[in-house]
Structure 1
Amino acid sequence: MTQGFIAGLVQMRSGRSVRENVEQASRLIREAAGRGASYVQTPEMTTLLTRSRDELAEAADPAATEEALARFRSLAGELGIWLHIGSMAVSLPGAERMANRAFVIGPDGTLRASYDKIHMFDVDLPNGESWRESRTYQPGESAALVDLPWGRLGLSICYDLRFATLFRALAERGADFLTVPAAFTRQTGEAHWHVLLRARAIETGTFVLAAAQGGTHEDGRQTYGHSLIVDPWGRIVAEAEGDNPCIVMARIDPAQVQEARKRIPVLEHGRRFALPESGAMKDPVQ
């Protein structure tokens, strides 16, 4: 494992124009690279954030997807950075639903990894908001990792954050850095964003990098912002102040991963165990 690197998180307020969103993302990516970032991450639904299925389908068309990806691939190659597009809507051949897909692009502009969001946000919130991602997106079936020059990167998207087993599995397969590009609602973000990201870092002894959408979007939804970088001891080392578009930067030292895991080797101490059948209980010891 080599020496550290600077990570840059792009906080956005994506709207209903793919062109404008790509321009906003590109400007902020350039800013992060200009400030020394070798790895830059954008949030979930970088290229479009809308409730309209028709608008999503248009953006997910293969030609539209390739055009946006071509822009980002060219930018990564020009800047010589690892560029992680948090997610885009992508059409699936022969399927009625789309994929919510992340892409990792290498500094030569080639696609190095992709990941389809596994867990769908299907909830009714106390404030009246109702979300049914499974109506639009087909859940992914595979976890994903990619090797960077500084260590291994594990991929997730937004609601995946609530499923600790995914993050432990990624860490057990060698992830040194876990990623959570997101569009957390304001209500759930205020309640759970910080504690969940810190918990995932502590449980796995990894850095957690989470670029977020923030603010009131054109479709009326409100997202929480507060993009975060958390170290393997659970400390917040960088955070966006609020929900405005911005850049969050921090130097990442991979040696901290091994240090944290030596201090508390939870990945080594995990054990499989049996569970009793529902309602069953063994006779008490006499």
Structure 2
Amino acid sequence: MTRVSVVQLGSSADRNANLATIEKSLRTAAENGSAFAFLPEASIYRGPYDPVHVEAEDGPVLGRMSELARELELNVVLGGVWTPGVDPEHADNSCLVFDRTGQIAARYRKVHLFRLDRSGEPADDEAAFTRPGDRTVALRAGELTIGLSVCYDLRFPELYRNLADAGATVLSVPANFSAYTGPAHWEVLLRARAIENLCYVVAPAQIGTDPTGFAAYGHSLVVDPWGNVVARAGDEPAVLTVDVDPALVQARRLELRSPQHARPDVYAHPARIEELDG
């Protein structure tokens, strides 16, 4: 068994206030005996894009995250933070994993960039200021293997099958998920990813409305490999602490071997289209 905590936040554009809330949440996770704490996307800063909030890994805010991980002897999955990309006009949306010594053990750049076009409203277009990643990443961590993703990635099942094929037993989905799509899509997609891959899914989320007017759905979840919700937050800040059992993943995969029955050799070909006459 490995104990993990999933943190729900209502981050704002005030980085100092966000850091204070993050520290309090991480201390709660450590007091609960967790080995891992999962933070949502945009934990450190949630507001309009500004290059001033793009920070190198040795910057002061990420340095403080490193200090907290080391002090608390806690592995911290920082769900999404702007880090410098090769293009100065477009940052990377990076998920960084700090180990118990404060070192960055894994880096994942968000592959799928959010866009939402609602009638009569400006488009939410992450690609306007963010560069998409081009690699999937999983982290071996003792008895767990954690597949990394960020928010909008949730809509692309191929990414999670790739991570499960690499050995992932836990899928991490830190999010700043839209309150417009969340009621219909959030839980059903998280449970689907768990069921399809017979993995745990941990999904820390943001709540509230940021300074741009973007409203986040909240409702952080932990889902077991059978698709059961084992922990759920509402609309308030929260720290959900659960025990993750790798033996349950293995047991479910022995019962139902659907991932082994996938046929990528078939899916690689376009569907044959038949015509109906008359």
TM-score range, shorter chain: over 0.9
Deviates more, 1:27-36 or 1:89-98: 89-98
Q: How does 1:183-222 map to 2 (within 5 A)?
A: 183-222=176-215
Q: Which residue of 2 aligns with 1:139?
A: 132
Change (3 A) 1:276 1:68: closer
From 32, 35, 46, give the equivalent of 1:35: 32
SS of aligned partner of 2:213: coil
CA distance in 1, matches of 2:5, 2:185: 23
Question: Residue 139 of structure 1 aligns to which amino acid in structure 2?
Answer: P
Query: Is 1:245 the equivalent of 2:242?
Result: no
Percent sequence identity over aligned pairs: 35
Deviation at 1:94, TM superposition (A): 4.2
Deviation at 1:66, TM superposition (A): 1.7
CA distance in 2, matches of 1:275, 1:138: 27
Change (3 A) 1:77 1:187: same
Question: Mind listing any 5+ residue stretches in structure 2 that lack a counterpart?
Answer: none
Q: Which residue of 1 aligns with 2:106?
A: 113
Deviation at 1:29, TM superposition (A): 1.0
Deviation at 1:71, TM superposition (A): 0.8
Question: Residue 53 of structure 2 aligns to which amino acid in structure 1?
Answer: A
Deviation at 1:27, TM superposition (A): 1.0
Q: Which residue of 2 aligns with 1:10?
A: 7
Question: Residue 15 of structure 1 aligns to which amino acid in structure 2?
Answer: S
CA distance in 1, matches of 2:254, 2:171: 18
Change (3 A) 1:276 1:265: closer
Give the structure-2-normalised TM-score.
0.93
Q: Deviations over 1:132-186 (max 9, x none)?
A: 0000100000000111112210000000000000000100010010000000011
Question: Residue 22 of structure 1 aligns to which amino acid in structure 2?
Answer: L
Give the structure-1-normalised TM-score.
0.91
SS of aligned partner of 2:254: helix
CA distance in 2, matches of 1:205, 1:80: 29
Contact (CA 8 Å) 1:21, 1:47: kept in 2 or not? yes
Q: Which residue of 2 aligns with 1:262?
A: 254
SS of aligned partner of 1:191: helix
From 95, 100, 122, give the equivalent of 1:102: 95
Deviation at 1:24, TM superposition (A): 1.1
Aligned length: 276
Change (3 A) 1:276 1:232: closer
SS of aligned partner of 2:127: helix
Contact (CA 8 Å) 1:15, 1:219: kept in 2 or not? no
Deviation at 1:118, TM superposition (A): 0.3
CA distance in 1, matches of 2:125, 2:171: 26
Deviation at 1:280, TM superposition (A): 4.7
Question: Mind listing any 5+ residue stretches in structure 1 that lack a counterpart?
Answer: none
